[in-house]
């Protein structure tokens, strides 16, 4: 330990660079040379890279543990290099660096990412062994781990964003891994585009944070977060709504009252939008079920354990920013709860095993956001970890099952359909037992990891809320707003949704469990004795293998998977069962809580528990166990004892509702119709504009005009000298006219301060001048004669104005007149600022506006 501390001091912890860059190295080598290296070398490289990264993460974890004694959070930094420097107008600059840092929060997450990642790499080596794109798969997996590590180990929001985009990219690449099938490619595209909508939110949040806090790395944000407590006027934009004067008086006043939102709320909502995209919350969850088109290890790694939890990580990392806005936190909690329930309702009717797991993931992510939204950061984060274990275990188990089924049924859809499974516990015991452990965790079987984490979230949903930082906020210029305060009924409502969802989760997961592993194997309706044909269990043809259901399909007996597949299952199953003991408040074990406490210390000042929270623990424990028993019991009753008849009769009794749930509430169709339809209409409009305005008006019409004028003008080119001479004569006339007319011009030399204005008339051939200087309408001089005086000057008093006229006569006797107006303005004693006439607003300097307004506490 001393050696580690000596080699890698806290402010220059180079191990971080190794952890992050090793997977990148693996990806690079595998990507470039993978085809030549062969399967063994590629898998060895990928696995060893992951293994070493995991080992280093373990070392870092222990080093952190050693460094963190007491309440001070330990943090190791590694500054990479300066990315760019933004300079403000007053000369100070903001540095955005590429750097990494690790503390308790992301040290733990790095362990999970690299550990689970290693296990899934091992799994993939066997799962994808027959696939011709094997090296490409492992390259993408390594690249994904690299991006994920950049995301969680980044020291500032821009670096996190790089990782954020990187995982989005890898998700796209991996979902559409078998891109020959359009469906898979479309799923990958959908994931990426939906993610991008969320990324817009993250970028807006970055901009706001940069403006109000003056920096984007965690330490700067930590110290300057208070700067977000200013109200921003969001309506009306400007001073008033332009057309409001047409409305009646009352409506106009209502429309024009300024509405404020605090900057913290805007940041919180924008950040949550990013998380909604990345972590599949309402309304941007639609990509995750489609993402099941990718290979199962991808679903396990990305869409269960790591990428989708990046949103939760972001909110935990920026906890001290989020708690400044109770409104945003309430939105997070409510959205999380609603997503949980919504996704659970869809999972009720799905037949595809991976789709059930996908909706289950969305639902559990809702739980995590519920936990984070009420201020239980540790509980939410703990659920991230436990969910990683049990969901990855379930996905890998599902993959094992699908692997076995696929050997029988060379049809992607049918091999995942639960109606073709059943009774597999006889054939695949290891998969069965590990899946049981994971199932127990997710339904909340007492003393499993899922039980502890979900229980704590539900308890905190009821008891915990966010304190209002101050009652009113005001900026320096007169805008004030009341800060949102946490409604007292919200805790109850969230808890109600949460417990109902727990019940639903228990139900549908048990349905899945029973349908897959218990009963009779339904895949026999397919011939029992079967001989292996020429090609082995190839995953080569993941094409459209949709067999006619009446034709019997063939395949061997489902068998257990190779060791590379069941060892990860075993490890994850063990963790799913027993990792809960890391944080069991019931038994007063709060290891995780103590470990993460320094990270959330600042945020925890704003989190409060309602009165009497301590006594509710056992009540809620009972409620959680009741939900577990109720859900599993109901599923057991319906699917084992009644063999699924109540479900069928329900489907027959309410066919409309049933169809709606099976169709995932037709959300995708709504989006297709309204959102994508709107974009399509916009695109059509632009296509029309391009065709008729740009191509026709701007290109063809202008060309036509030019060519027509050319045709017209060409008639002047007769080639005959007489024509040209005629044109010259006309020009001669014009020139002659120009010379014959006189022009009255004078150069004015105005001196406002002394009041002396002098005019110098322009000279010309044979010109004579006469003036009218004293504004009386008559020409000066005895008889108003034309003379030779070209220079005149006049003195004006302050604020006096005068009109001067000049008349010029040339040798031909033609005259011209010009009038000049002079006004001597009052002297400008305002000093520093210049202003337009009539401007009486107080002078507001730009520098004043830049200072952060001081929030005023009003008791």
The residue (of 679 and 726) whose beta carbon lies closer to another protein is 726
Task: Give long-range contacts, CB 8 A cutoff, 24+ apart: 475-482.
Answer: 475/230, 475/231, 475/853, 476/848, 476/851, 476/853, 476/854, 477/853, 479/231, 479/233, 479/258, 479/260, 480/231, 480/260, 481/231, 481/260, 481/261, 481/262
Nearest approach, Cβ of residue 729 and another protein (Å) = 5
Taking the C-alpha atoms of residue 775 and residue 614, their distance in angstroms, rounded to an integer, is 94
- Detail the DSSP E strand segments found in 493-593: 583-584, 589-590
Nearest approach, Cβ of residue 816 and another protein (Å) = 15
Q: How far is CA 692 from CA 601, 706, 719, in A?
A: 62, 19, 40
Nearest approach, Cβ of residue 738 and another protein (Å) = 13
The residue (of 92 and 722) whose beta carbon lies closer to another protein is 722
Nearest approach, Cβ of residue 794 and another protein (Å) = 30
The residue (of 243 and 730) whose beta carbon lies closer to another protein is 730
DSSP sequence for 617-682:
HHHHHHHHHHHHHHHHHHHIIIIIISTTHHHHHHHHH-HHHHHHHHTGGGHHHHIIIIIIHHHHHH
Nearest approach, Cβ of residue 712 and another protein (Å) = 12
Q: Give the sign of the dihedral formed by CA 121, CA 125, CA 130, CA 135.
A: positive
The residue (of 653 and 765) whose beta carbon lies closer to another protein is 765
- Give the bridge partners for 472, in sequence order: 482
Nearest approach, Cβ of residue 760 and another protein (Å) = 25
Rg value, the chain, Cα: 38
Q: What is the DSSP letter of 749?
A: E
CA dihedral of residues 627, 630, 631, 635 (deg, nearest 10): 170
The residue (of 730 and 847) whose beta carbon lies closer to another protein is 730
The residue (of 87 and 711) whose beta carbon lies closer to another protein is 711
Strands 472-474 and 768-772: unpaired
Q: How far is CA 495 from CA 83, 128, 172, 376, 541, in A?
A: 45, 42, 35, 13, 48
The H or E element that residue 382 is part of is helix 377-408
Taking the C-alpha atoms of residue 624 and residue 499, their distance in angstroms, rounded to an integer, is 7
> Is there a contact between 764 and 773 (Cβ–Cβ < 8 Å)?
no
Taking the C-alpha atoms of residue 181 and residue 178, their distance in angstroms, rounded to an integer, is 6
The residue (of 735 and 798) whose beta carbon lies closer to another protein is 735
The residue (of 383 and 770) whose beta carbon lies closer to another protein is 770
Nearest approach, Cβ of residue 246 and another protein (Å) = 59
The residue (of 805 and 809) whose beta carbon lies closer to another protein is 809
The residue (of 551 and 730) whose beta carbon lies closer to another protein is 730
The residue (of 697 and 727) whose beta carbon lies closer to another protein is 727
The residue (of 487 and 733) whose beta carbon lies closer to another protein is 733
The residue (of 237 and 725) whose beta carbon lies closer to another protein is 725
The residue (of 3 and 713) whose beta carbon lies closer to another protein is 713
- Detail the DSSP E strand segments found in 258-390: 259-262
553: left (phi over 0), alpha (psi -120 to 50) or beta: beta
CA angle 851, 857, 859 (to 5 degrees): 165
The residue (of 246 and 729) whose beta carbon lies closer to another protein is 729
Nearest approach, Cβ of residue 723 and another protein (Å) = 6
User: How would you label 671-706 residue by residue, b for 16+ Cβ within 10 Å and e otherwise?
Assistant: beeeeeeeeeeeeeeeeeeeeeeeeeeeeeeeeeee
End-to-end alpha carbon distance in the chain? 52
The residue (of 784 and 825) whose beta carbon lies closer to another protein is 784
The residue (of 84 and 812) whose beta carbon lies closer to another protein is 812
Site residues for another protein per CB under 8 A = 714-715, 717-723, 725-726, 729-730, 732-733, 736, 740, 811-813
Nearest to 313 by CA among 150, 174, 459, 495: 150
Burial of 342 (0-12, 13-18, 19+ CB in 10 A): buried
Nearest approach, Cβ of residue 708 and another protein (Å) = 15
Q: Residue 612: how many CB atoms within 10 A of its CB?
A: 8
Taking the C-alpha atoms of residue 311 and residue 316, their distance in angstroms, rounded to an integer, is 9
Q: How far is CA 385 from CA 306, 310, 400, 435, in A?
A: 9, 12, 22, 17
User: ω into residue 283 within 30 of 0, thus cis?
Assistant: yes
Nearest to 203 by CA among 168, 169, 161, 167: 161
> Is there a contact between 617 and 587 (Cβ–Cβ < 8 Å)?
no
DSSP sequence for 766-810:
T-EEEEE-SSSSS-SSSS---B---EEEEE--TT-EEEEEEEEE-
Nearest approach, Cβ of residue 730 and another protein (Å) = 7
Taking the C-alpha atoms of residue 177 and residue 354, their distance in angstroms, rounded to an integer, is 17
Nearest approach, Cβ of residue 802 and another protein (Å) = 32
Sequence-separated (6 or more) residues with CB below 8 Å from residue 329: 268, 322, 323, 373, 374, 375, 466
Nearest approach, Cβ of residue 744 and another protein (Å) = 18
Nearest approach, Cβ of residue 673 and another protein (Å) = 60
The residue (of 6 and 712) whose beta carbon lies closer to another protein is 712
């Amino acid at each position: 330990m001393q050696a580690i501390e000596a080699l890698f001091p806290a402010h220059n912890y180079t191990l971080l660079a190794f952890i992050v860059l090793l997977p990148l190295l693996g990806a690079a080598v595998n990507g470039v040379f993978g085809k030549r290296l062969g399967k063994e070398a590629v898998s060895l490289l990928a696995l060893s890279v992951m293994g070493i990264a995991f080992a280093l993460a373990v070392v870092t974890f222990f080093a952190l543990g050693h460094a963190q004694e007491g309440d001070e959070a330990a943090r190791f930094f590694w500054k990479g290099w300066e990315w760019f420097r933004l300079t403000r107008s007053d000369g100070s600059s903001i540095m955005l660096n590429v750097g990494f840092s690790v503390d308790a929060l992301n040290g733990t997450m790095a362990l999970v990412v690299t550990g689970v990642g290693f296990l899934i790499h091992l799994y993939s080596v066997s799962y994808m062994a027959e696939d011709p794109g094997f090296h490409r798969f492992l390259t993408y997996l390594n690249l994904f781990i690299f991006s994920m590590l950049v995301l969680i180990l980044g020291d500032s929001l821009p670096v996190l964003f790089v990782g954020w985009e990187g995982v989005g990219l890898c998700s796209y690449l991996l979902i559409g891994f078998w891109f020959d099938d359009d469906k898979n490619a479309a799923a990958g595209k959908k994931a990426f585009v939906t993610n991008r909508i969320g990324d817009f939110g993250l970028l807006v949040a970055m901009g706001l944070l940069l403006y109000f806090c003056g920096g984007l790395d965690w330490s700067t944000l930590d110290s300057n977060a208070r700067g977000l407590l200013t109200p921003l006027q969001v309506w009306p934009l400007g001073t008033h709504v332009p057309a409001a004067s047409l409305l009646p008086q009352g409506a106009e006043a209502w429309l024009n009252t300024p509405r404020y939102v605090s900057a913290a709320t805007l940041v919180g909502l924008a950040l949550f939008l990013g998380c909604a995209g990345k972590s599949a919350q309402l309304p941007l969850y639609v990509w995750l079920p489609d993402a099941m088109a990718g290979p199962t290890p991808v679903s396990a790694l990305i869409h269960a354990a790591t990428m989708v939890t990046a949103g939760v990580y972001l909110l935990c990392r920026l906890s001290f920013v989020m708690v400044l806005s109770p409104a945003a936190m309430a939105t997070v909690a409510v959205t999380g709860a609603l997503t949980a329930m919504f996704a659970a309702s869809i999972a009720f009717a799905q037949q595809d095993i991976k789709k059930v797991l996908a909706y289950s993931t969305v639902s559990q992510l809702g739980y995590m956001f519920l936990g984070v939204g009420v201020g239980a950061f540790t509980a939410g984060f703990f659920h991230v970890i436990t969910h990683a274990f049990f969901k990855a275990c379930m996905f890998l188990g599902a993959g094992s099952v699908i692997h076995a089924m696929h050997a029988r049924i060379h049809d992607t859809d049918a091999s995942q359909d639960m109606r073709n499974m059943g009774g597999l516990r006889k054939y695949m015991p290891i998969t069965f037992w590990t899946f049981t452990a994971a199932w127990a965790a997710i339904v909340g079987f007492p003393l499993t990891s899922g039980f502890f984490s979900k229980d704590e979230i539900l308890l905190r949903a009821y008891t915990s809320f966010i304190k209002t930082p101050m009652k009113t906020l005001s900026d320096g210029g007169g805008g004030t707003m009341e800060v949102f305060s946490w409604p007292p009924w919200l805790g109850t409502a969230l808890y109600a949704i949460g417990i109902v969802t727990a019940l639903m989760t228990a139900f549908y997961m048990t349905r899945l469990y029973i349908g897959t592993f218990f009963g009779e194997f339904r895949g026999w309706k397919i011939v029992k004795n079967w001989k292996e044909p020429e090609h082995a269990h190839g995953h080569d043809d993941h094409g459209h293998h949709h067999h006619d259901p009446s034709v019997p399909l063939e395949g061997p007996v489902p068998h257990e998977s190779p060791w590379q597949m069941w060892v990860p299952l075993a490890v994850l199953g063990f963790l799913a069962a027993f990792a809960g003991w890391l944080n069991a408040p019931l038994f007063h074990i709060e290891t995780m809580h103590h470990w993460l406490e320094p990270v959330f210390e600042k945020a925890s000042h704003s989190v409060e528990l309602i009165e009497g929270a301590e006594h509710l623990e056992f009540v809620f424990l009972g409620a959680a166990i009741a939900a577990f028993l109720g859900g599993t019991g109901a599923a057991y009753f319906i699917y084992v004892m009644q063999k699924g008849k109540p479900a069928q009769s329900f489907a027959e009794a309410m066919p409309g509702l049933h169809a709606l749930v099976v169709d995932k509430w037709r959300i995708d169709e709504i989006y297709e119709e309204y959102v994508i339809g709107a974009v399509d209409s916009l695109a059509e409009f632009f296509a029309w504009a391009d065709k008729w305005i740009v191509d026709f008006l701007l290109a063809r019409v202008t060309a036509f005009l030019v060519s027509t004028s050319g045709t017209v003008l060409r008639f002047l080119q007769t080639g005959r000298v007489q024509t040209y001479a005629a044109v010259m004569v006309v020009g001669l006339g014009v020139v002659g006219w120009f010379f014959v007319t006189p022009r009255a011009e004078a150069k004015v030399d105005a001196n406002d301060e002394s009041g002396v204005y002098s005019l110098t008339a322009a000279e010309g051939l044979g010109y004579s001048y006469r003036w009218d200087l004293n504004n009386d309408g008559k020409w000066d001089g005895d008889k108003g004669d034309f003379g030779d005086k070209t220079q005149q000057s006049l003195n004006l008093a302050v604020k006096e104005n005068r009109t001067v006229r000049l008349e010029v006569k040339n040798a031909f006797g033609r005259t011209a007149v010009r009038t000049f107006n002079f006004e001597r303005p009052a002297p400008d004693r305002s000093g520093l600022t210049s202003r337009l006439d009539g401007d009486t607003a107080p002078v507001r300097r730009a520098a004043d506006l830049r200072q952060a307004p001081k929030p005023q506490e009003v008791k």
